Amino acid sequence: MTPNRYQSVWDAIEDSPARAENLKLRSSLMLVLKRHIENEGLSQTEAAKTFGVTQPRISNLMRGKIELFGLDMLVNMLAAAGLRVTLRVKKAA
């Protein structure tokens, strides 16, 4: 039996290509937000005020609770942080 090869961990654990793609996007945006908080030296309370959310929401973000965040929320948080999201669409391999 030969092992399967996947483009990402999300492709490996999700049966639905659409769900895997959504998870890839959300995880990427969450990582950018987490790095921004760390690079700016923001406390969770400061980050919450900046992003317009609650401190527990930031705690969930920092702990990688991906199931609690939708793309809209993440884009809104990035915009509130003064970051811009760009999108590139390409044909699937």
Residue 48 contacts residue 54 (beta carbons within 8 Å): yes
Q: What's residue 2's pLDDT? A: 64
Q: How big is the chain by its Cα radius of gyration, in Å?
A: 15
Which class in CATH covers the domain with range 22-80?
mainly alpha
Contacts of 74 (CB under 8 A, 6+ apart): 26, 29, 30, 33
Contacts of 53 (CB under 8 A, 6+ apart): 73, 77
User: How far is residue 55's CA from residue 47's CA, in Å, rounded to a whole number?
Assistant: 8
Decide which of 10 and 40 is more confident.
Answer: 40
Question: Mind listing the pLDDT tens digit for each residue in 17-74?
Answer: 778 889 989 999 999 999 999 999 999 999 999 999 999 999 999 999 999 999 999 9
pTM value is 0.82
- Per-residue pLDDT band for 8 (boundaries 50, 70, 90) equals low
- Per-residue pLDDT band for 7 (boundaries 50, 70, 90) equals low
